[in-house]
A = this chain, B = another copy of it.
Amino acid sequence: MNVAIVGASGAVGHELIKVLETYPFPIEKVRLFGSQRSAGQTLVFDGREIKIELLRPDDSLFADTDFAFVSAGASVSREYAGVITAGGALMIDNSSAFRMDGDVPLVVPEVNGADAFDAPRHIIANPNCTTIQMVVALKPINDLSPIRRVHVSTYQAASGAGAAAMQELERQHADIAAGKEPTVEKFAHQLAFNVIPHIDVFTDNGYTKEEMKMHLETKKIMHAPHLEVSATCVRVPVMRAHSEAIWVETADNLDLQTVRRAFIEADGVEYVDDPATLTYPMPLHLAGHDPVYVGRLRKDLACDNGISFWCVSDQIRKGAALNAVQIASYILEHRK
């Protein structure tokens, strides 16, 4: 396969390179694309130096490409979707540009991989990071009994705001340790020694766009228009894995042992839950890992048909780059 990475110099672009270097994916050729700012620079893929090409409005640019992994923001995705798909390439888009479009599938392979084959515009959308890890954990529960509602609060790492945001968090801590006043650029407020209950912009109903993504994308991915999600999304001073406290209400009363077994057997889930040894998923230790980690499983004390659990996953990896590559891989494995 000939693959292209658009936005190669960003945090997700870097991770796409790392994932493609190790993931069992049949690669013939890799091309990298970027803006004026990064074009001309070189990045290393599998020991070879590859020059970043300028992304430009040229319909022949992706003529030899099978899969284009695009992670350069929603406006770039909107502007270049036509160029990228003009020659038949399949665009796997990491931005929010097309996620809710009716003719663009929104795919997490463990949950709705088959949807990837219904992509008339040659665009498949990668869901938002917080949604991806949540639906991987919801799937095995929903298979036992339909989920009615979900309450979720997030503990989101700096990585969700990009590489510069991660550097800002580190710099803020270094400044504070050195007795200097920390500076704020990438986030709305200082993140070091703080939590910020606000990610992406606010919408009219008081929820942020990030929170509404979890509400809307979950319905679409799980084909469950009546599955209602209420989210509170919060930025915390962690580098790159997101955590989520989740409550689920199902149609039937599930016993914990059944849910535990379902988590253990579920695709993409790693069940880590041993209170006796103080073992539960934590973001510090799970950066760079592939699975969606689940732990702290217990009955919801406020709801008879409810269960509660804790979920951690690397935001750049399963939350972005890995899921995109898994979509392409799913298509290669399952196409007729």
Q: Which residues of A contact B (CB under 8 A)?
A: 149-151, 153, 155, 173-174, 176-178, 188-190, 192-198, 202, 205-207, 215, 228-230, 232, 234, 236-239, 243, 245, 247, 256, 275-276, 278, 280-285, 295-303, 306, 308, 310
Shortest CB distance A42–B (Å): 29
Report which of B149, B236, B278, B308 forms a contact with A232, defined as CB distance below 8 A: B308
Which residue of the partner chain B has the closest CB to A150? B302
Closest to A175 in B: B177
A303 to B247, CA, bound (A): 13
Instruction: Tell me the bound Cα distance from A198 to B295 in angstroms.
Output: 11
Task: Please state the number of chain copies in the assembly.
Answer: 2
Given the contacts A245-B153, A301-B207, A197 and B296 also touching, CB distance less than 8 Å: yes
Could you name 11 residue pairs across A and B whose Cβ atoms are closer than 8 Å?
Answer: A153-B245, A189-B282, A190-B284, A193-B237, A194-B282, A195-B236, A205-B298, A207-B301, A230-B302, A232-B308, A232-B310
Residues of B within 8 A of A176 (CB): 173
Closest 6 CB pairs between A and B? Answer: A206-B298, A194-B284, A149-B302, A153-B245, A202-B275, A228-B302
Measured CA separation A301–B229 after assembly (Å) = 6
A140 to B197, CA, bound (A): 22
New A-B contacts (18) at CB < 8 Å, excluding given A189-B278, A234-B243: A150-B302, A151-B247, A155-B195, A193-B237, A193-B238, A194-B284, A195-B238, A197-B295, A197-B310, A206-B275, A206-B296, A206-B299, A228-B302, A230-B301, A232-B245, A232-B308, A236-B237, A237-B238
